[in-house]
């Protein structure tokens, strides 16, 4: 793997017309040997599955990353190696034959394209976080045509896809299912439901979520860190148990396997224990309401233009849409079957 940045000449600022010109010809046309940083824009930054600069050249000619917003890597382009095992960090000029290491100081003000951080979904590949060009042209390049916003979520987040993906026969990508069914309840109602499930003798267990108030803690935590996932398969909810314990883990994974009964004010934590804000159960939505064809991405849609997801949303949607899906018809209905791509198909 290599962490790289790619710089290409902006034609509007290329007064000496040195775009696509080899290194040795630069003095004749611009009066100086080294490339002029003021005419370059940074058009890509990310990690690529390459070990050499020649591998980078091949990838950015034959297998562009979806978020890449420039032309195929060519003469006069500059590759900055930020981190790599086999290539020394620095700036490399793409010449007629191979690459030449050069001194180069990027001009940040010339990076005119705004990028946004999204969850990128590609057919046959694992979901991943990506930085993409937020201009109309940049977004069209990602999805491969005219764009359409799809709004299946309750929060202000949308899926941006190709408007004619199905019509143009693009490969099917991900199924969109109905929203999860959330049932709000008190802590007493949740424990009653847990006990009822454990008494029925079927071996079935139930999962619930307990959200604690912000003032239960001595420093601020987001709701995901204050929400603990609890199973009815705990001694506190099972009949005829010799002990009493409630093990749970917070939703963001930062506080795993905690003995909640020792901290909760509603249990053995006392008057200064953690106070319950709300409890709920969640039934995952199963019915498919739409199938997206072609590459798409999930982003924020609160403003006039598409924006970046929060860190929590990036993590949550990457997990929700992690695996690509295959689509088959069974008894007249279309079913989506998640699958883990092989090593070759999910290489970056």
Alpha-carbon distance of 163 to 169, in angstroms, equals: 12
Q: What is the DSSP letter of 222?
A: -
User: pLDDT under 50 in the chain at which residues?
Assistant: 110-112, 344-348
How do strand 78-84 and strand 2-9 relate by DSSP bridges?
antiparallel
- Please give the structure tokens belonging to residue 30: 């611009």
- Please give the structure tokens belonging to residue 106: 């990027």
Alpha-carbon distance of 77 to 19, in angstroms, equals: 8
- Under DSSP, is residue 139 helix (H, G, I), strand (E, B) or coil? helix
DSSP β-bridge partners for residue 183: 281
- Under DSSP, is residue 302 helix (H, G, I), strand (E, B) or coil? coil
Check residue 113 and give its pLDDT.
55
- Please give the structure tokens belonging to residue 50: 């390459």
Long-range CB contacts (within 8 A, 24+) of 262-269: 266/187, 267/236
- Under DSSP, is residue 177 helix (H, G, I), strand (E, B) or coil? strand
Domain coordinates in residue numbering, the chain: 2-110, 115-179+287-338, 181-283
Check residue 174 and give its pLDDT.
94
- Please give the structure tokens belonging to residue 278: 């709300």
* First and final C-alpha spacing in the chain: 9
Alpha-carbon distance of 334 to 2, in angstroms, equals: 40
Q: Do 159 and 296 contact (CB within 8 A), yes or no?
A: yes
User: How do residues 314-341 score in pLDDT, each as one tens digit?
Assistant: 999 999 999 999 998 887 788 888 899 8
- Under DSSP, is residue 133 helix (H, G, I), strand (E, B) or coil? strand
Check residue 348 and give its pLDDT.
39
Cβ atoms < 10 Å from Cβ of 179: 12
Q: What is the DSSP letter of 198?
A: H
Sheet strands (E) in the chain: 2-9, 40-48, 78-84, 90-94, 99-102, 115-121, 128-133, 147-150, 157-162, 172-177, 181-185, 207-212, 227-231, 247-250, 258-259, 276-283, 288-293, 296-300, 325-330, 333-338
Cβ atoms < 10 Å from Cβ of 204: 10
| 44 closest CA partner among 14, 67, 73 | 67
The whole-chain average pLDDT of the chain stands at 90
Alpha-carbon distance of 299 to 306, in angstroms, equals: 6
Check residue 314 and give its pLDDT.
93
- Please give the structure tokens belonging to residue 159: 């899926």
Q: Do 61 and 72 contact (CB within 8 A), yes or no?
A: yes
Write the burial class of residue 329 (CB in 10 Å: 0-12 exposed, 13-18 middle, 19+ buried).
exposed
User: How do residues 132-146 score in pLDDT, each as one tens digit?
Assistant: 888 888 899 899 999
- Under DSSP, is residue 125 helix (H, G, I), strand (E, B) or coil? coil
The pTM for the full model equals 0.54
Percent of the chain whose pLDDT exceeds 70: 96
Q: How many CA atoms lie within 13 A of 270 on its CB side?
A: 1
């Amino acid at each position: 793997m290599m962490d790289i940045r790619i710089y290409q000449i902006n034609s509007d600022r290329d007064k000496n017309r040195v775009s696509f010109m080899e290194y040795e010809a630069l003095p004749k046309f611009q009066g100086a040997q080294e490339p002029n940083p003021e005419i370059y824009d940074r058009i890509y930054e990310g990690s690529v599955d390459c070990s050499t600069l020649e591998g980078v050249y091949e990838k950015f000619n034959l297998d562009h990353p979806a978020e890449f917003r420039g032309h195929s890597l060519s003469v006069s382009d500059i590759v900055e190696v930020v981190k790599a095992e086999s290539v020394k960090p620095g700036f490399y000029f793409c010449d007629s034959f191979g690459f030449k290491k050069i001194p180069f100081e990027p001009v940040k003000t010339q990076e005119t394209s705004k990028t946004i951080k999204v969850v990128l979904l590609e057919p046959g590949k694992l979901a991943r976080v990506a930085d993409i060009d937020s201009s109309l042209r940049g977004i069209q390049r990602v999805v491969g045509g005219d764009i359409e916003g799809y709004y299946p979520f309750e929060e202000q987040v949308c899926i941006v896809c190709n408007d004619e993906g199905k019509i143009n026969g693009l490969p099917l990508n991900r199924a969109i299912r109905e929203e999860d069914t959330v049932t709000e309840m008190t802590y007493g109602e949740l424990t009653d439901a847990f006990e009822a499930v454990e008494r029925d003798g079927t071996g079935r267990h139930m999962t619930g979520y307990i959200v604690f108030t912000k003032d239960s803690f001595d420093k601020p935590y987001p709701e995901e860190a204050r929400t603990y996932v609890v199973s009815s398969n705990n001694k506190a909810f099972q009949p005829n148990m010799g002990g009493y314990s409630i093990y749970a883990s917070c939703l963001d994974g930062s506080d795993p396997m905690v003995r909640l009964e020792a901290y909760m004010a509603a249990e053995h934590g006392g008057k200064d224990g953690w106070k319950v804000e709300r409890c709920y159960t969640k039934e995952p939505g199963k019915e498919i309401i739409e199938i997206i064809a072609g590459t798409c991405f999930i982003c924020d849609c609160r403003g006039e233009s598409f924006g970046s997801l929060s860190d929590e949303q990036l993590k949550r949607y990457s997990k929700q849409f992690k695996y690509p899906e295959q689509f088959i018809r069974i008894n007249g209905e279309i079913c989506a079957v998640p699958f883990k791509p092989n090593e070759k198909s999910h290489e970056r």
